[in-house]
Amino acid sequence: MKRILISYEYFLPAFKAGGPVQSIANMARQLCDSYDLYIVCSNSDAGESSSLPEIVSDTWTDFENGVAQVYYISQEEKKFGTIRKIVREIKPDYIFANGIYSFLFSLAPILVRSKAKKIMSVRGMLHPGALSVKSLKKNIFLSIFKALGIQNKVTFHVTDEKEAGYVRNVFGEKVGIAIAENFPKQIKASAQAYKNANELKLVSIALISPMKNHLLAIEALKNVPSKVVYDIYGPVKDANYWEECKKEITKLSANIIVNYMGDLQPEKLVSTLAQYNVFILPSKSENFGHAIYEALACGVPVITSYFTPWNNLEEQKAGLNVDISDINDMTKAIDKLALVDNETFMKWSEGASQLAQKAVSFEGTKLKYFRLFL
């Protein structure tokens, strides 16, 4: 079988980097029968310096009984020479680099001399909303990227035509682009928490950063008259932003309770979602939105922005899209779903799970990756 070397800074059991980790793991599970897969990553999680538990660094280890082989690079071995050694050892037919802004895991595998076809998955990092965060640093990196001619050495992997447009906006019309959507988890809808009229159990599961826009949800709750419990799961990526959120939480009235629940291990996701009525994530951009898909698949309606692939939610009785420039629009969306009783809510829950089922064709997606790795 042909060999694919996949590089990204983080991989399971790491989970604090969000969607790309899940995308890569799900892709490996779907393609392992057709390719020999090798994954190279850091031996730590995002924002952590200590090694991941129960992994062995600087050697190949098995992932999920032969799905892939994983090489967790230690802090001491994080250098170009390590990547070069791995590429020369594996002799891959394809190099699938993930992300834009890591020299070691995004650029180095592309720069190593190799006969491999080189593919770079941009993972939503060129969305205008994503580029607006820490824009100076990203613009400097992209200037270096272009100076090295990386854009001429790779085929860019994107998940839809819109993302293809973002790539062309940055790198020009002539770059090579291939479209293949992300593989989500295979999830079955589960029984949902009972929904009382004028009450709402609200949840977010995401990195806490300006991109995910938790602050908007918190501020919108100030004018919601119904009783709402809002639980927030996820690692704090931006401490200053989280301090802003906490200040606004103290201003909420007695009918609104907001709890920070800390990190959520991926294996607890489905059982956790079953405890809530509505998932809220008013992101400024999402390449795919694994957490949104997972909520829908579990039968949890979603409130989100228009800057994700999950639009027209209300038409499908699967949730509500909101204008994130208008706090009142967010308040109205929360209150609308808070008001419904359990009988009405079950129709929304069914709409959510049906949308998730319709949105993903695992066999169709697999064929697109077969074409990508030709």
Domain ranges of the chain: 3-183+361-372, 199-359
Question: What Å distances lie between residue 240 and 136, 170, 237, 250, 301, CA to CA?
Answer: 19, 29, 9, 16, 30
Residues 6+ apart with CB under 8 A from 259: 229, 230, 231, 232
Quote the tokens at residue 221: 């709750």
Question: What Å distances lie between residue 148 and 65, 141, 143, 151, 169, CA to CA?
Answer: 38, 11, 9, 8, 18
Q: What is the pLDDT of residues 37-94, one digit of tens each?
A: 999 999 999 988 899 998 999 999 999 999 999 999 999 999 999 999 999 999 999 9
pLDDT of residue 267: 83
Quote the tokens at residue 260: 């920070």
In the predicted model, is pLDDT for residue 190 greater than 80? no
**Is there a contact between 189 and 346 (Cβ–Cβ < 8 Å)?**
no
Residue 245, CB-side half-sphere exposure with 13 Å CA sphere: 23
Question: What Å distances lie between residue 251 and 193, 200, 220, CA to CA?
Answer: 28, 19, 12
pLDDT of residue 187: 79
pLDDT of residue 85: 97
Residue 133 carries which side chain, given as an amino acid letter?
A: V
Quote the tokens at residue 89: 């050892």
Q: Residue 354, exposed/middle/buried by CB under 10 A (0-12, 13-18, 19+)?
A: middle
Among 112-116, 184-188, 280-284, 356-360, the least confident range = 184-188
What is the DSSP secondary structure assignment for residue 286, as one 8-state letter? -
In the predicted model, is pLDDT for residue 191 greater than 90? no
In the predicted model, is pLDDT for residue 361 greater than 90? no
* DSSP per-residue codes, 226-254: SEEEEEEES-BS-HHHHHHHHHHHTTS-T
Instruction: Decide whether 3-183+361-372 matches 199-359 in CATH topology.
Output: yes
The alpha carbon of 49 is separated from its chain's Cα centroid by a whole number of angstroms, namely 22
74/279 Cα distance (integer angstroms): 36
pLDDT of residue 189: 67
Quote the tokens at residue 322: 């909101």
pTM, two decimals, is 0.78
In the chain, which ranges are E strands? 3-7, 36-42, 60-63, 68-73, 94-98, 117-121, 155-158, 176-179, 199-205, 227-233, 256-262, 278-281, 302-304, 319-321
Residue 273: other Cβ atoms inside 10 A = 25
Question: What Å distances lie between residue 193 and 273, 275, 319, CA to CA?
Answer: 9, 5, 16
57/75 Cα distance (integer angstroms): 9
Provide the percentage of residues in the chain whose pLDDT is more than 90.
Answer: 82
Q: From the options 3.40.50.80, 3.10.520.10, 2.60.260.20, 3.40.50.2000, give the CATH code of 3-183+361-372.
A: 3.40.50.2000
Q: What is the pLDDT of residues 158-170, one digit of tens each?
A: 999 999 999 999 9
Q: How many residues does the chain have?
A: 374
What is the DSSP secondary structure assignment for residue 183, as one 8-state letter? P
309/27 Cα distance (integer angstroms): 19
Q: CATH number of the domain at 199-359, please?
A: 3.40.50.2000
Question: What Å distances lie between residue 82 and 72, 136, 272, CA to CA?
Answer: 11, 29, 39
Q: Residue 65, exposed/middle/buried by CB under 10 A (0-12, 13-18, 19+)?
A: exposed
pLDDT of residue 185: 81
